[in-house]
Structure 1
Amino acid sequence: MRASRLLSVLLLLQTHGRMTAAQLAERLEVSTRTVYRDVESLHAAGIPLYGEAGHAGGYRLVDGWRTRLTGLTGEEAERLFLAGLPGPAAELGYGAVVAALQLKLDAALPPVLRDRAEAVRQRFHLDAPNWYSDGDASPHLAPVAEAVWRQRRLRVRYRSWQGERVRQLAPYGLVLKGGRWYLVADGGRGPASYRVSQILELTTLPETFVRPADFDLAAWWRASVLDFRNRLHQGEATIRLSPRGRERLREVGSELVVAAAEANAGPPDADGWVTTVVPIESTTHAHGDLLRLGAQVEVLAPAELREMLAATGADLAALYRSATG
C-alpha cells in the first residue's frame, strides 16, 4: 500500500510540476505528516526531489527527470474502460482504482497530449442519470460487480412485478441505462435482465461458472431492448397534433413514438394540425402520456382512449370552475 502511494507521489509531481504537501495530502487522502514521511523516503531512495519554501513553494522533481514506473496493474487494466466514467466507476466500487489509472495515463503522456486530454475532460462530461433523478443506488451494486468480474454465482431475493422470487444466477454483465443499473444473468433459462435496485438480499456463492465465449453483452442488450419495445407497443392510436403539439411530443415522447408520428403524419390542415398514427402500450398508459400534450393533441381513435381524455378534461374544467367560484 505504501509503495503504491510513493509511486502516486512521483506521478503527481511528474504530471503537475509542483505541489504543496497539503495538495498531495488531499489527492492521496492522507495527512500532511504522512506526505512529509513519504518525501523523506523518496529522498533516501535517491529520487531527485526537492522542496521550495514560501507562499509559491512546494515539492517538485528536477527538470527533465521522469519515472518509468507507470505500468498498469492487472486490476487497473481490467477497469481501463471505466476511465471516462468516474461516476459509474465509483458506484461500482472502483473509484480509487480508476483514479490511480487516470493518474498513470496522465503521467505517461507527453505534455502536449496531456494538455489536450485535459482540455477534452474540461469540455465533455457524461452525466448518466436522467433529469429529476440521482441514479439508481443500491447497496448490492458493488458485490454484484465483483461477482461479474470473478465469475462467481449469486443467490438473490428479487422483487419483480410478479412478487418476490429467489434465484441463483450466473452474472454475465452490468448495463447502465438511463441512470439505472441492470444485471444481465442466466438463471437457468438463458440470459435475462434484473434491475439491481430490486435485489433485496444477495449472497455470493463459492461456486464459479464459465461465461459463454460467444456471449456479446452489448449485442444481447440491443436485441433485448428492441424486443421489449416491440412487445410494449401492441396497439396504436390515431391522433391530431398542433404545431406546438408536435414540438412538445419531440420533447416528452419516446424515440419510437416520435419516429412513428413523423413517418405517419399526413399533410397539415389550414391551422397546421396533422393527423398521424402512433404506437401505444395500452389505453391507460397512452392516456397519461397524451395528457402531457394538453390541448395540443386530439385523439380520434380508439374511442375508449378518446372518451378517457374527454372525461379527464371535463373533470379538470369542473375542478377549476369550482375553484374560481
Structure 2
Amino acid sequence: MKSSRLVSILLLLQTRGRMTAAQLAEELEVSVRTVYRDVDALHAAGVPLYGDAGHAGGYQVLAGYRTKLTGLNTGEAEALFLSGIPGPAAELGLGSVLAAAQLKLRAELPAELRGHVDRMQSRFHLDAPGWYAEDTPVPFLQEVADAVWNGRVIDVRYRRWKEPTEVDRRLEPYGLVLKAGRWYVVAGPWPRTFRVDQILALTQRGEEFSVPAEFDLAAYWQQYQADFRARLQRGDAVVRLTRRAAEALSVAWEPAADSAADSDADSDADGRTTATVPIESVDHAHGEFLKLGAEIEVIAPAELRDRLAGTAARLAALYAS
C-alpha cells in the first residue's frame, strides 16, 4: 500500500540518514520513478524532506525532525512486543532498557493497538531453552557483549572437551548468538565459535579490531549449523520401528525418521516400518535407542545390534533376580 510505503521511506531516512532514490527503490522493491512520486507526496504532506543532486547526493529529512509511530499496523505492533524476550535481554544487562523501550513504544500506539498488544502479551510467553536444559550461569556474558559492541580484543581462559581442557585464547569477538538458551560468541580472526558459559576468566585488552567487511553473522551461523550436523551424522542404522518410535525419533533423526513416521504403506505384519536413520556414533545411538525399549529393533550395523542385545540381556538378568 502507498501509505505504508511512505512511512517506510520516512523511517528509512530517519534511521539511516541520506539515501539515494536508487537505494530507496532497492530497499522497498519498487521503481525509482515510484520513489520520486512518493517523495513528492511526502513534500505535499509537509514533511521536511529535501534532496541534493550529484555523486554524494540523496534524500534526507531536516535535522531534528522525527515522526511518531502512527504507521504501525496491528501485526507489526504485536510482532515488535513479541520479539522482546526479557530473559536474554536481562542476561545482557538490558532488562530495564527493554522494559523502558516497550513502555515508550506502547505510549505512542493508538488505543486500539495497545489493546491488541496487551491481549497478545497476556496470551503468549516465549521460553526458548529446552525442558531439560540446565540454568547454567554465564558470568562473562556482559563483558563479551561489551567487547562485541565496542570492537575490543579480549583474552580468555576457555574450557573445552579435549586435552588440555583449559586453554588461553586471544579473541576478536565478531558477534553473539543465542541458540536454544545457550550463548555463543563467534570470534576471529579465524572465525570460530565458543560457548560463553565455558569462559573461565576474561581480560579486556586496550586493543581494537574491525570485523571484516565480508563477514555476515547470520550466514556464518547457518553454515556452522550445517557443518555441525554433518559432523554428527557419521553413519547410518537400519531399524525396524513402530509408529510411536518413529514419531519419537523424528526430532533427532529428521528427515529419515520423519518419512518412516508418515508412511503406513511399507509397514510389515507387526506394524513396524523399516527405515534408515543417520547416527552420530554407535555409543550415541546405543543410548538413544535404549530409551525406546522394544519399540525399535536395530538390523544394522551388527556392532550396534550386538551392543543393544547385550545390554538387554544384562537388564533381563538384573530384573529377574
Asked if 1:260 is matched to 2:262, the reply is: no
8 Å contact from structure 2 (residues 174, 187) kept in 1: yes
Q: Given the superposition, is the C-alpha separation of residues 110 and 82 from structure 1 closer, same or farther in structure 2, using an over 3 Å criterion?
A: closer
Name the structure 2 match of 1:276.
Answer: 275
Match of 1:157 in 2: 157
Distance in 1 between the 2:271 and 2:87 partners?
A: 45
Indicate the residue corresponding to 2:204 in structure 1.
204
CA–CA distance in structure 2, aligned partners of residues 135 and 311 of structure 1:
36
1:82 and 1:98 in contact (8 A); partners too: no
Aligned AA (1:223):
Q
Residue 225 of structure 1 pairs with residue 241 of structure 2: no
- Name the structure 2 match of 1:191: 191
Distance in 1, matches of 2:133 and 2:140, equals 19
1:80-229 matches, within 5 Å, as: 84-162=84-162, 163-186=165-188, 188=189, 190-229=190-229
Letter in 1 for 2:169: R
Q: Percent identity?
A: 55
Q: Deviation above 4 Å: which 4+ runs of structure 1?
A: 80-83
Quote the Cα distance in structure 1 between the aligned partners of 2:116 and 2:244: 42
Q: Is the 8 A contact 2:159 2:200 kept in 1?
A: yes
Change (3 A) 1:121 1:213: farther
- The size of the alignment, in residue pairs, is 241
User: How far apart, in 1, do the equivalents of 2:239 and 2:108 lie?
Assistant: 59
Report if the CA contact (8 A) 1:129-1:135 is conserved: no
Q: 1:180, 1:81 → 2: CA distance?
A: 22
DSSP 3-state at the match of 1:119: helix
Question: Take 1:91 and 1:82, find their aligned partners in 2: how far apart are those partners?
Answer: 18
Q: Is the 1:260–1:279 Cα contact (8 Å) retained in structure 2?
A: yes
Task: Note the alpha carbon deviations across 1:89-143, whole angstroms, 9 max, x for none.
Answer: 0011111111111111111112111111222222222101110235432111111
Q: 1:212, CA displacement in angstroms?
A: 1.9
2-structure distance, mates of 1:92, 1:82? 18
Displacement after TM superposition at 1:292 (Å):
1.1
The answer as to whether partners of 1:91 and 1:137 remain within 8 angstroms in 2 is no
Q: Which amino acid aligns with 1:231?
A: R
Asked if the contact 2:247/2:258 (under 8 Å) is kept, the reply is no
For the residue of structure 1 that corresponds to 2:194, the secondary structure is strand
Deviation at 1:81, TM superposition (A): 9.8
Secondary structure at the residue paired with 2:184?
Answer: strand
Residue of structure 1 equivalent to 2:241: 241
1:56-100 residue CA offsets vs partner (Å, 9 max, x unmatched):
xxxxxxxxxxxx9x99xxxxxxxx999611110001111111111
Q: How far apart, in 2, do the equivalents of 1:303 and 1:312 lie? A: 14
CA distance in 1, matches of 2:113, 2:181: 32
Report the Cα distance in structure 2 between the residues aligned to 1:205 and 1:158, rounded to whole angstroms: 16
Give the letter aligned to residue 201 of structure 2.
E
Q: Verify the 8 A CA contact 1:185 1:193 in the aligned structure 2.
A: yes
Amino acid in the other structure paired with 2:153: R
Q: What is the rounded CA distance, in whole Å, between the counterparts of 1:240 and 1:105 in structure 2? A: 55
Structure 1 CA distance for aligned equivalents of residues 228 and 87 of structure 2: 28
Residue equivalent to 2:47: none
State the match for 1:304 in structure 2.
Answer: 303
What SS class does the counterpart of residue 304 from structure 1 fall into? Answer: helix
Distance 1:242 1:280 in 2: 18
Q: Contact 1:135–1:180 at 8 Å: present in 2 too?
A: no
For residue 177 of structure 1, what is the amino acid of its counterpart? K
Please give the alpha-carbon distance, in whole angstroms, between the structure 1 residues aligned to 2:178 and 2:220: 14
Work out whether residues 136 and 181 of structure 1, in 8 Å CA contact, stay in contact via their aligned partners in 2. no
CA distance in 1, matches of 2:142, 2:254: 37
Partners of 2:303 and 2:83 in 1: CA distance: 51
Matched residues in 2 for 1:182 and 1:110: separation? 39
Give 5+ residue unaligned stretches, structure 2.
Answer: 1-65, 70-79
Letter in 2 for 1:288: G
Q: In 1, are the aligned partners of 2:247 and 2:257 still within 8 Å (CA)?
A: no
Paired AA for residue 318 in structure 2:
L
CA offsets 1:20-50 (integer angstroms, 9 cap, x no match):
xxxxxxxxxxxxxxxxxxxxxxxxxxxxxxx
The 1:302–1:134 alpha-carbon spacing in structure 2 relative to 1, beyond 3 Å, is: closer
Q: RMSD across aligned C-alpha pairs, in angstroms? A: 2.3
Gaps of 5+ in 1: 1-67, 72-79
